[in-house]
Each structure stands twice: as C-alpha cells, then as structure tokens.
Amino acid sequence: MRECVHGHGTVAIPRKLEIPDDRRLKVPLYARHGVPEVWLFDLEHSRLHIYTAPSERSYLECRILAEPGLIAPAALPQCAVDMTGIV
C-alpha cells in the first residue's frame, strides 16, 4: 500500500488490486453512496465489469465485457474511450 496526496486529502493506493475484495467490499459501498457507474478491470481474467443502477445494497446491473472496444460512461456518452488492449 502506498499513499498519494490528491486534492483535499490522502488516498491509499493498493499495489495490487484484489478483484474479489473490490467486488465484495468497494462496489457495494459505491452503490450505497449513489455512484452511478463503476468500471472494474479484472486483469487476471481479461474482463471489464461495468456496474450500473445503484441500489441501497449494490448495483442492479452488471455487464461483463471480454473485448470492450470503444465504450463510454453513461453520464458522458460523448466521451468514448477505446479499451482495446487494456483488458
């Protein structure tokens, strides 16, 4: 774990992201706080998980893309990102 000063505080950045922990702990936390969309990269399995429709406990929708290509966040459809070769 390392720390970086960012904006108004310090952010802890893990050296290696643990996908099961992120899905189990962080994704529901983001949903509870109303984050509209979360992208989670699973580099071990070369997939991109896109969580949408937050609820009190977690997200109601999850798309799993093995070859995402050109995608855009729901809130910014005009800002597409080419994810080819990322996952």
Residue type, 22: D
Domain that holds residue 57: 17-82
**Domain contains 3:** no
Q: Whole-angstrom Cα distance, residue 85 to residue 87?
A: 6
Q: By mean pLDDT, which of 8-12, 18-22, 58-62 is the weakest? A: 8-12
For the segment 39-43, the average pLDDT, to the nearest whole number, is 85
- State the pLDDT confidence band at 46, using cuts at 50, 70 and 90: confident
For the segment 58-74, the average pLDDT, to the nearest whole number, is 90
**Domain contains 1:** no
Nearby residues of 44 by Cβ (< 8 Å), 6 or more positions away: 19
Q: Whole-angstrom Cα distance, residue 3 to residue 25?
A: 20
> What are the CA-CA distances from residue 42 to residues 33, 72, 76, 83 (Å)?
23, 18, 23, 13
The domain total for the chain is 1
